[in-house]
Structure 1
Amino acid sequence: MEEADKWKIEKFAGQNFGLWKVQMESLLIKQDLALALEGKAKGQGTLSDPEWEKMDKKARATIFLSLSSNVLFFIEPDFPGFEEARKGCCGTGLLETAIMCNPIILTCADPSKYVFWDSFHPTTECYQILANATFQQIRDSILSATS
């Protein structure tokens, strides 16, 4: 068995994000791509710009290949309607989750432009798109089973 085959994780399809996130971070660490998670500013001084770009592309490819088509479709940077797919609307968008996103914390002006509300949870708009896609798949599955 090849090394790459040993470390495959189940594609993220909109459920169990916490587990997928831990597995994805572990996979990126295993592939020496973890610095990409910290951002270019953290990598400054340790990598040249071409080295950084190469590592960043490899990390993105690993992440994108670990997403189901339905999820990838919605976070692709050119997806119409969303302007921000890398960070959440609440606070810095990188660390805060759930209770830490409250009326005291600053939020973005228009959450509908973001894929994520906080660093963990999709926005209402993203959930709606995922729900519609899931419903479509279930409906198609039922219709094909009955025909």
Structure 2
Amino acid sequence: LKSLGVKNLLEFDFMDPPPEENIMNSMYQLWILGALDNTGEITSLGRRMVEFPLDPSLSKLLLYSHEHGRCSTEVLVVVSMLSVPSVFFRPKDREEESDAAREKFFVPESDHLTLLNVYLRAKQYKFDPHWCTRHFIHAKGIRKAREVHAQ
């Protein structure tokens, strides 16, 4: 709303207004990220963040990795994977089998690196739905992550 020129979010005529506390918390988070300045106005960083259909923290992460030239490709993959619901599925009658399949991608130190592994392996297999099913990965989820990555 700030990017659309709304000055005071607390006075905005919402159809179904959120609690004032939620608005204040959201503005505080945007200020922490550098998307709003001390007066509540949108910053140049905030204007660039709005261009991405992502959570603001993920937008800032993408911009930061690109600006600093460090692992931006990998960060883009991780952000894409984080923008979709869990890519893993765990059928009740095949829990051990699905856990074993998930273990092949697992990086104990980082869920983000686990997601990177999943994406890179799926890409290696051309995002084949049959490969995804065999590895207990939601084909739709990984396809959506690929679409986000392509944006």
Q: State the TM-score, normalized to the length of structure 1.
A: 0.25
Larger radius of gyration: 2
Report which of the two has the higher share of helix: 2
